[in-house]
Amino acid sequence: MRVLGIETSCDETGVAIYDATQTGGSGLLADALYSQIAMHAEYGGVVPELASRDHTRKLLPLIDQVLHEAQLTRRDLDGIAYTAGPGLVGALMVGASTAHGMARALNIPVLGVHHMEGHLLAPMLEDDAPEFPFVALLVSGGHTQLVEVKGLGHYQLLGESVDDAAGEAFDKAAKMLGLAYPGGPLIAKLAEQGDPKRFRFPRPMTDRPGLDFSFSGLKTHTLTAIRQLEAAGELDSQARADIARAFEEAVVDTLVIKCRRALDQTGLKRIVMAGGVSANTRLRERLALETEKRNARAYYPRGRFCTDNGAMIAYVGAQRLAAGERDEDGIMKATPRWPLDTLLPPSAR
């Protein structure tokens, strides 16, 4: 089954074609991604209306591009998958309407899939993919969650952020330091020049049991430190780097501590990390060391599949379409808020 995957949940237009008759990463026939980051950076964050308009402009050319790269025509497709949520409703509608229009014209099945399930299973695109069951850390600009994954659609939420997601906290801390949007990569780059011993920021909610996260207090602590240095006339370039280092270390430590607890709680030896923040080098290094101590192993998608992309949507769509799932009565879906733990395995639908 050759499935076209469409991702338009926020500020990146992703398209891919996945062949479910093949195994491992070899099933990915072609993928393309267009990022709107440069456009939104001018405003310091995503502007929903601009995002929707840009998806409209870019989506069909990207579909033609991946079909050409895969040496296929639209008639060679067996199904279409699109991101139905969570995300920006206008952006979601662009992908949903395009997918349904194409599917109807081609008389092939279409299915709206969960954006975070795409991230969750993105490591399955790799040749060395993890086996079920495993613990997953989903860490991005909109979500920070720990999930026990027993199989496709068999998800148990172990913990999540009660306020800001980790990626959101990175962006806000970057703005405090006068850095551009998106802030995560810029904070990480600045932190490389920082003195790890100058500041120590709190590791939120690690002094109590449980697997939930909170980053709002860390954000406030960072702002207080910046204002104190400003008041003393000491907020120079080195101080900014030192704060960036302290902030990154606090977020990384918090995430790793919670991952360790999740592995201990479940007794599992595999952990998957996905989402935009999973590309953070320091986080990968720390999690690799932590899993090695426990005779466990960490899995990640390749760099370009950490952020939003069409390949992960095509993969999930291929698995669920092959199991017989379809959008009921041909009704397209756009669900801005959609809890991951409400998903069901294909056999239960």
Euclidean distance between CA atoms 194 and 311, whole angstroms: 36
Residue 308 assigned to a binding site: yes
Three-state SS for 144? strand
Q: Which residue, among 12, 9, 287, 20, has the nearest Cα to 137 in the 3D structure?
A: 287
Residue 138 marked as a ligand binder: yes
Q: Residue 103 and residue 41: Cα distance in Å, rounded?
A: 34
Token digits for 245?
Answer: 């280092």
Tokens of 204: 């939120």
Residue 184 is labelled as binding a ligand: yes
Peptide bond just before 86 cis, omega within 30 deg: yes
The response to whether 140 counts as a known ligand-binding position is yes
Cα torsion angle, 165, 170, 174, 180, sign: negative
Q: Is 141 annotated as a binding residue?
A: yes
Tell whether residue 94 is among the known ligand binding residues. no
Contacts of 57 (CB under 8 A, 6+ apart): none
Ligand-binding site membership of 159 (annotated): no
139 in a labelled binding site: yes
128 is in an annotated binding site: no
Q: Residue 26 — left, alpha, or beta (φ > 0 → left; ψ -120 to 50 → alpha)?
A: alpha
Q: Which residues are annotated as a binding site for substrate?
A: 138-142, 171, 184, 280
Q: Which residues are annotated as a binding site?
A: 115, 119, 138-142, 171, 184, 280, 308
Q: Which residues are annotated as a binding site for Fe cation?
A: 115, 119, 308
